[in-house]
Structure formats: C-alpha cells, structure tokens
C-alpha cells in the first residue's frame, strides 16, 4: 500500500451570497453539474463547509483564486489517501 498526498478544496458557508449565486460559481469554476452544485451549496450551508473539488494543488489554486475574486471563502487542504498499486 502506497500513501500519496492529494488536495481538496473546501468552500465555506457565508451569510452574504445566495444559493443560486454559489451554485453558479460551482458550475463555472468547478465544472459541476447543477444537481451537484445544489448539493454542495446545501452541505456548506448545513455543515459550515463542503469539499467541492479534489486534485493537484496547482489545479485547485486556480479555482481557489477564482472563488477569492468573487469573495467566496475557500481553502486548499492536504489529505492522505491510500492507493493500491
């Protein structure tokens, strides 16, 4: 078993942006389908945050910067996953 590092992008709930606005951002920046965007928006609202994308740091950094430009709080966090060879 090999341990590899990957990253995920967390989106945080706020009381500023509407659900349709957040959904539009998720569709545009994360290329999510409308149903997935709705579910992520609801999870962020209910839990305070939601993992909206995973992958390489550089790829997530571009998405994070897009969210930052529209004042939606996100954070890139590292997580370990266990991969079988």
**Tens digits of residue pLDDT in 39-68:** 999 999 999 999 999 999 999 999 999 999
The full DSSP string for 25-44 is HHHHHH---HHHHHHHHHHH
Q: Is the pLDDT of residue 17 over 60?
A: yes
Confidence band (pLDDT; 50, 70, 90) for 81?
A: low
From 9, 16, 15, 7, select the one nearest 31 (Cα to Cα): 9
| Average of per-residue pLDDT values in the chain | 90
Confidence band (pLDDT; 50, 70, 90) for 80?
A: low
Give the pLDDT confidence score for residue 10 in this predicted structure: 97
Give the pLDDT confidence score for residue 79 in this predicted structure: 78
Domain boundaries, the chain: 2-83
- Looking at 3.30.1390.10, 3.40.718.10, 3.40.50.300, 3.50.50.60, the CATH number of the domain 2-83 comes to 3.30.1390.10
């Amino acid at each position: 078993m090999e341990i590899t590092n990957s990253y995920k992008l967390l989106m945080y709930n706020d009381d500023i942006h509407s659900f349709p606005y957040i959904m539009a951002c998720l569709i545009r920046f994360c290329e999510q389908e409308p149903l997935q965007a709705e579910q992520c928006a609801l999870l962020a609202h209910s839990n305070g945050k939601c993992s909206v994308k995973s992958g390489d740091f550089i790829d997530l950094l571009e998405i994070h910067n897009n969210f930052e430009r529209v004042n939606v709080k996100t954070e890139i966090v590292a997580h370990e996953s266990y991969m079988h060879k």
